[in-house]
């Protein structure tokens, strides 16, 4: 089965990404960690059977390695002011592909192709909660159904529960719970799960530099 694997991403610009890692990281180190997380995520997406990787991108890309990775994906600009609005618009923009969509972010570099492939197996919808109460993955048979996210407050401890409530009426498959990377504690825990990843290497390099 072919499906659209939608990655919501922000260009890793110092001072604009992973600011909750600063301190102890500098803005430049946090951007390096964010870039590594995005690159690991794109790599997993490209290796996922049946996936058509689409990156909804915010910001201008300045890094050559990120530009090279994005060249292997379909890239669309994020549209909207709030994150909820950008989510809704990204799903609407990929509806033209007439495929089910599995949407993730760039904060779970521990995802694997096998995990993503299995998460794409759902009927009407799927939702993967994050340990902090949000969610890391959303599956929709019809991407236009994402309209229900418009009024869901994001980045809160109850975002996952409110998103599930907004999907009322759809059969929602629960996906595995993952930790996304917001804090240094999150970053260290995720790095331990994927010690050979770009993400873990970037975090280690930042620690060594200190």
Q: What is the pLDDT of residue 207?
A: 76
What is the spatial distance between Cα 140 and Cα 81, in angstroms, rounded to a whole number?
23
CATH topology classification for 3-209: Spore Coat Polysaccharide Biosynthesis Protein SpsA; Chain A (3.90.550)
Q: What is the mean pLDDT of the chain?
A: 96
Residues of the chain with pLDDT under 50: none
Residue 72: per-residue pLDDT? 98
Q: Give residue 210's pLDDT.
A: 60
Query: How far is the C-alpha of 62 from the C-alpha of 84, rounded, in Å?
Result: 26
Q: Which residue has the tokens 């917001």?
A: 182
Q: Domain boundaries in the chain?
A: 3-209
pTM comes to 0.96
Residue-level pLDDT at 95:
97
Cα 55 to Cα 36: distance, rounded to the nearest angstrom: 15
Q: Tell me the C-alpha distance between 19 and 126, whole Å.
A: 30
pLDDT for residue 209 = 56
Burial of 71 per CB tally in 10 Å (0-12, 13-18, 19+)? exposed
Distance of CA 9 to the CA centre of its chain: 7
């Amino acid at each position: 089965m072919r499906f659209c694997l939608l990655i919501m991403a922000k260009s890793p610009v110092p001072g604009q990404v992973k600011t909750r890692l600063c301190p102890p990281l500098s803005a430049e180190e946090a951007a390096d960690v964010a870039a590594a997380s995005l690159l690991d995520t794109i790599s997993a997406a490209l290796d996922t059977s049946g996936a058509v990787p689409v990156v909804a991108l915010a910001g201008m890309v300045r890094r050559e390695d990120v530009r090279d990775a994005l060249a292997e994906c379909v890239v669309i600009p994020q549209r909207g002011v709030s994150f909820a609005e950008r989510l809704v618009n990204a799903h609407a923009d990929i509806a033209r592909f007439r495929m089910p969509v599995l949407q993730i972010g760039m904060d779970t570099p521990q995802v694997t192709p096998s995990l993503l492939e299995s998460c794409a197996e759902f009927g009407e919808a799927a939702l993967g909660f994050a340990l902090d109460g949000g969610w890391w993955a959303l599956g929709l048979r019809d991407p236009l159904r994402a309209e229900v996210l418009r009024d869901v407050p994001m980045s809160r401890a109850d975002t996952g529960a409110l998103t599930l409530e907004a999907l009322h009426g759809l059969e929602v498959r629960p996906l595995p719970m993952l930790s996304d990377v917001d804090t240094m504690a999150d970053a260290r825990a995720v790095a331990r799960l994927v010690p050979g990843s770009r993400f873990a290497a970037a975090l280690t390099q930042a620690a060594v530099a200190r």
